[in-house]
Amino acid sequence: MRLSRAEIQVIKSTAAEVFGDQARVLLFGSRADDDRGGGDIDLMVEQHGLAGRALALAKIRFLASLKMRLGDQRIDLLMVPDNAQPQPIHQIARQSGVWL
Amino acid sequence: MTLREEPRSRLVDVLRECRLHIRRIDHAREALQLQLPISGADWQRLDDDAVGHIDQLLFRFGKLQDAMGRRLFPLMLKVLAELDEAEPFIDKLNRLEKLGLIPSARQWVEWRELRNQATHEYPDAPEQNAENLNLILEALPRLESVFELVATHALRYLESGSLT
């Protein structure tokens, strides 16, 4: 995993602030793999309770806070659907990813 | 062009461009006539004209952000002798906020995320699309007033050669 401990802490605390203490964050993609290059931070967030407008706002605030704290960079956010069927991408992320 | 245009004419150009984007945004908003907030069901019932206006809104929201963020903001920092071109964008925003030229750096960053998020249409989640549109429509007048604030400072510079 190619994120510093400080970066991991920022991601976890920002997720808790925005999505609640029960939310979990998974790092997947190239940053989860020590052998790969590439800069994008791919995150999957699992949370319960936020939907509609509150969820739309939370996603925006999460990404904005991360960029302000970690520096401007490509961060992609995938949400685990709360009340709907997961897609193949969620399964792939779980298989290759690391829960923070 | 080999000559580097001085800030004055570039400022005039970018202000004019921003006003054009705002005019298009206002026209599209007026044409939409939506009862806010819209729901997922409303989203699915949008007719072709409405979709066209929404596309225009999103496009111009993005263009206005780009014109302000990439050109107007650096120009304002330059005329204040505060421009460090190598400085990361978010640091420039923080500087602009400290100088009182924009109300909030964080708000600007959130608007950027909103623009990215709203640009994605989720075919299976009309509710998400609807909420993103609601947020865009709420953000638009605030974005326009940030522009007016910056434009006021810009005009002061253009008229008097200084910002004080």
Closest CA of chain B from A59, distance in Å: 9
What is the layout of strands, in order, in the sheet containing A41-46?
A75-79, A41-46, A24-28, A98-99
Assess contact for B96 and B77: CB atoms under 8 A. Answer: yes
Looking at residue B164, its pLDDT comes to 60
pLDDT digits (tens, 9 = 90+) for B144-160: 999 999 999 999 999 98
Identify the residue among B36, B89, B109 best suited for mutation to test binding to A, counting A beta carbons within 10 A and taking the highest.
B109
A53 contacts B89? CB cut-off 8 A: no
Cβ of residue A71 closer than 8 Å to a chain B Cβ: yes
B164 by Cβ neighbours in 10 Å (0-12 / 13-18 / 19+) ranks as: exposed
Beta-bridged to residue A44, according to DSSP, are A26, A78
Token pair 């009340």 is at which residue? Answer: A83
Mean pLDDT across the stretch B5-18?
Answer: 91
- The pLDDT > 90 percentage for chain A reads 77
DSSP for residue A26: E
- Contact between chains at B131 and A52 (C-beta distance less than 8 A): yes
User: Given a cut of 70, is residue B2 above it in pLDDT?
Assistant: no
B128 touches chain A (CB under 8 A): yes
State the residue for tokens 């044409």: B31
Question: Which of A53, A59, A84 is closest, CB to CB, to B134?
Answer: A53
Distance between CA atoms of B35 and B53, rounded to whole angstroms? 15
| Longest CA span, chain B | 55
Mean of the pLDDT values across residues A53-79? 96
Give the pLDDT of residue B156. 93
| Predicted TM-score (pTM) of this structure | 0.93
The percent of residues above 70 in pLDDT, for chain B, comes to: 96
Q: Would you state the pLDDT for residue B33?
A: 84
pLDDT band of residue B5 (cuts 50, 70, 90) is low
The minimum CA-CA distance between A97 and chain B, rounded to whole Å, is: 23
Residues B99-110: what's their mean pLDDT? 97
Residue B55 is predicted with a pLDDT of 95
Overall average pLDDT of the A7-34 stretch: 94
pLDDT above 60 (res B4): no
Radius of gyration (C-alpha) of chain B in whole angstroms: 18
Q: Return the exposure string of B85-118: e unless at least 16 CB atoms fall within 10 Å of the residue's CB, then b.
A: eeeebbebbbbbbeeebbeebbbbbbbbbbbebb
| B37/A53 CB distance under 8 A | yes
Contact: A71, B90; criterion CB under 8 Å: yes
Percent of chain A whose predicted confidence (pLDDT) is above 70? 98
User: What are residue A77's DSSP bridge partners?
Assistant: A43
Average pLDDT over residues A9-34: 94
Q: Is B132 on the interface with A (CB under 8 A)?
A: yes
**pLDDT per position as a tens digit, B56-80:** 999 999 999 999 999 999 999 999 8
Nearest to B131 by CA among B112, B113, B144, B118: B118
Express each pLDDT in B14-67 by its tens digit: 999 999 999 999 999 999 988 889 999 999 999 999 999 999 999 999 999 999
> From residue B9, how far is each of A79, A95, B23, B71, B92 by CA, in Å?
45, 55, 21, 12, 22
Q: Do B114 and A61 touch (CB under 8 A)?
A: no
DSSP string across B40-79: HHHHHT--HHHHHHHHHHHHHHHHHHHIIIIIIHHHHHHH
- How distant is the Cα of B136 from the closest Cα of chain A, in angstroms? 11
What's residue B3's pLDDT? 47
Q: What is the DSSP letter of A66?
A: H
* Contacts A72 to B, Cβ<8 Å: 88-90
Contact A23, A54 (CB under 8 A): no
> Is 90 exceeded by the pLDDT of residue B109?
yes
Higher pLDDT, A50 or A84: A50
A58 interaction partners in chain B (CB closer than 8 Å): none
User: Taking the mean position of all CA atoms in its chain, how far away is CA A15?
Assistant: 8
CB contact under 8 A, A64 and B109: yes
Measured in degrees and rounded to the nearest 5, phi and psi for residue A79 equal -100, 135
Strand partners, A42: A28, A76
Q: What is the value of ipTM here, to two decimals?
A: 0.93
Cβ–Cβ contact B104 with A under 8 A: no
Q: What does the pLDDT read at residue A82?
A: 83
